[in-house]
Amino acid sequence: MYSFLFKYIIIGDTGVGKSCLLLQFTDKRFQPVHDLTIGVEFGARMITIDNKAIKLQIWDTAGQESFRSITRSYYRGSAGALLVYDITRRDTFNHLTCWLKDARSYANSNMTIILIGNKSDMESKRAVSYEEGRQFADENGLIFLETSAKTASNVEEAFVNTASKIYEKIQKGDFDINNESFGIKLGAPTSKQDGTDQKPAGGGCCK
């Protein structure tokens, strides 16, 4: 059981390592070569924040522009977004503006976005400096981290920090929790006697 369920979406150019990040986060393993994602894939994991069990339900989208019209529909109803670029490929960084624009226009305004510069293990091939990434994040009000899906560096943090931020927002009352379009669902209370909360949303997803 969980207290909250947060929905995430992972976006970014194709080949930046979105699926690998997800796999590292959910399965704690790295697959050097991952099937390319078509449409949307799905992952979930429980984390704990402030002693509360939080389920992260993560949508991993296809990166190629051709699929944009489909992936856009997943923005809606997401509480958090991981916007990923590849620090070894400049163009993936250059496209961030596009992605961000998309996210802003199709997601709810309260969506928490984290910018992720992936493949930090490939320092020798770096094409985007940490500072550039940092700066872009600051300018756009995003959380920022450089990660490596391969070494698992910062992967956990990326997902958890985002969740913390969302949790913060909940505490501040930024969300109408009962409105599922924010990508947040209230889990069933651990003591299952609250009759009013008899619909443990997404409960079926719990393994």
Partner 1 sequence: MNTNRVLFSKENVFVYPPEIEKGIKGTISLCSLDKGSIFLCWIPDIEEKEDDHSSSSSSSSSNLQSPNGKNPLAASTIIEIDDQNSWVVRVHVKELKSIKKYTPNIGTPYIIITSKKGTAFFPFFFEHGGVREFLKSLSSIIHLKKSNLDSNFFTVVDFSDPVQRSLSSMNLSDHFYNSNNKDDLYSSSSNSSSNSGNSNSRKQKDPVIPDFNDDLTFGHDMDLHNQDQEKEDRYSLLSSTNQLKKAQEISVLSSPPSSSHTTSISPTSNKSSSFINIGSNNNNNNNNNNNNSSVSSSLSKSTNGLSFSSILSRSTSPSASTSPIPIEKSGNNNGSNNNNSSNITSPIPSPSSKFLSASGGSDNENNSNNTNSNNNSNNNANTGSLSTSPTNKRALKREISSSIFDNFAKVTQLAKSAQKNIFEEPAKRIDNHFRNLIGSKSSIGSNLSPQNANNQYFDILNESGSSLNASSDYFTPFNISSLNFSIELGANRRECNPMSPSEWYSYFDDEGRICLANQQILLKKIFYGGIEESIRQEVWPFLLGVYSFDSTYSSREVVKYEKTQQYQTVKRQWESISCEQESRFSKYQSRKLLIQKDVIRTDRLHPMFIQGEDDIDSNENLRLMRDVLLTYSFFNFDIGYVQGMSDLLSPIISVMGGVSKEVECFWCFKGLMDRLESNFHKDQNGMHHQLSTLSKLLKFIDLELYTHLEANNGGNMYFFFQSVLICFKREFPFHDVLTLWEILWSNYMTKNLPIFMCLSILIKERNQILDENMAFDQILKLINEKANRMDLEDILVDAESMVRYFIIKQMSIDTDKSLIKLKESISIY
- Residues near partner 1, by CB under 8 A: 7, 14-15, 32-36, 38-42, 57, 59, 62, 64-67, 69-70, 73, 77, 91, 202, 204-205
| Helical axes 155-172 vs 18-27, angle rounded to 10° | 80
Judge whether 174 is annotated as a binding position: no
Judge whether 48 is annotated as a binding position: no
Instruction: Report phi then psi at 160, rounded to 5.
Output: -75, -40
Distance from C-alpha of 186 to C-alpha of 202, rounded to nearest angstrom:
9
Q: Which is nearer to partner 1, 32 or 141 (CB)?
A: 32
Min. distance of Cβ 72 from partner 1 in angstroms? Answer: 11
Written as six digits, the tokens of 204 are: 């079926």
Give the E-state strand segments of 90-183 in sequence order: 112-118, 143-146
Q: Is 184:79 a contact under the CB 8 Å cutoff?
A: yes
Judge whether 191 is annotated as a binding position: no
Min. distance of Cβ 182 from partner 1 in angstroms? Answer: 14
Min. distance of Cβ 6 from partner 1 in angstroms? Answer: 12
Min. distance of Cβ 166 from partner 1 in angstroms? Answer: 17
Judge whether 206 is annotated as a binding position: no
Q: Which is nearer to partner 1, 15 or 126 (CB)?
A: 15
Q: Which is nearer to partner 1, 117 or 202 (CB)?
A: 202
Nearest C-alpha neighbor of 25 from the set 176, 203, 145: 145
Judge whether 120 is annotated as a binding position: yes
Q: Which is nearer to partner 1, 44 or 160 (CB)?
A: 44
Distance from C-alpha of 46 to C-alpha of 39, rounded to nearest angstrom:
24
Q: Which is nearer to partner 1, 87 or 137 (CB)?
A: 87
Min. distance of Cβ 66 from partner 1 in angstroms? Answer: 5
Distance from C-alpha of 72 to C-alpha of 62, rounded to nearest angstrom:
10
Judge whether 117 is annotated as a binding position: no
Written as six digits, the tokens of 101 are: 């624009």
Distance from C-alpha of 161 to C-alpha of 4, rounded to nearest angstrom:
15
- As annotated, the binding site for GTP includes 12-20, 60-64, 118-121, 148-150
